[in-house]
Amino acid sequence: MDSVFLVISLFLPRLMLIIYFLIHQIPLNTVPFIGDILLTIFIPRALILIYIVQNLGTDSPWFWIHLVVAALVYFGGGKKMRSKYKKN
C-alpha cells in the first residue's frame, strides 16, 4: 500500500478513498464494488481498516494506528460535539 494513502487517510479518509478511486489506485481487496461505495459514504475508516488487513495484515503498525484513530474519532467525537452545542 502507498504510504501517502495511509498517512493522509488518517485525517481525511473519505477524501482519500474518492481520490484514489478516481485515479484507479484503490488497494486490492475482496470487498464487492457496492460495499466499497457504501462503506466510503457511511464508514470510510472501516473500509480503510479492511484494506490494511487484506494487504498488510494485522501485524502492521498502520493497522493499529488506524484502529486507535478510528476509536478516538467514533468514541471521542460525540462528546466534543455535545459540549459544543451545550455552550450555545
**pLDDT per residue over 14-43, tens digit each?**
999 999 999 999 888 899 999 999 999 999
User: Is 70 exceeded by the pLDDT of residue 75?
Assistant: yes
pLDDT at position 83, please? 66
Mean pLDDT of the chain: 88
Say if CB 39 and CB 46 are below 8 A apart.
Answer: yes
What percentage of residues in the chain have a pLDDT greater than 70? 86
Give the separation between CA 42 and CA 26, rounded to whole angstroms.
Answer: 17
Give the separation between CA 14 and CA 60, rounded to whole angstroms.
Answer: 22
